[in-house]
Amino acid sequence: MFTPKYPKPDTAPAITTTTPAVPIPAPSAPVSNRPALQLTPGSTLTLVAGGGALVLVVGAVLVSMLLAVAITAASVAVCAVVVRSILKEHKA
């Protein structure tokens, strides 16, 4: 009951080839001597201007998010002082 049962071995005859396989060489791509990326003065200027604009936009977004957090913290602090004042007067 607990002995393993193995499948029967494959009885198909082995396939033999009479002609040897001849490898076919793959076509190779032509080799180019020019670099993959060519930077002209105009494209370099465009890249620098684009990078500068990206830095300015990301900086403006980050500064505005920091300002929003600071304003929120200040308003919560003011609300806490007002609520504390109201509760203090209510107890007296």
Please state the rounded mean pLDDT for residues 56-62. Answer: 97
| Non-local CB neighbours of 39 within 8 Å, separated by 6+ positions | 47
Domain ranges of the chain: 61-92
Structure token pair of residue 43: 């494209």
Structure token pair of residue 67: 């300002």
Please state the rounded mean pLDDT for residues 53-64. Answer: 97
pTM (predicted TM-score)? 0.49
Q: What is the DSSP string of 43-57?
A: HHHHHHHHHHHHHHH
Q: What is the pLDDT of residues 16-46, one digit of tens each?
A: 766 666 677 777 777 777 667 778 889 999 9
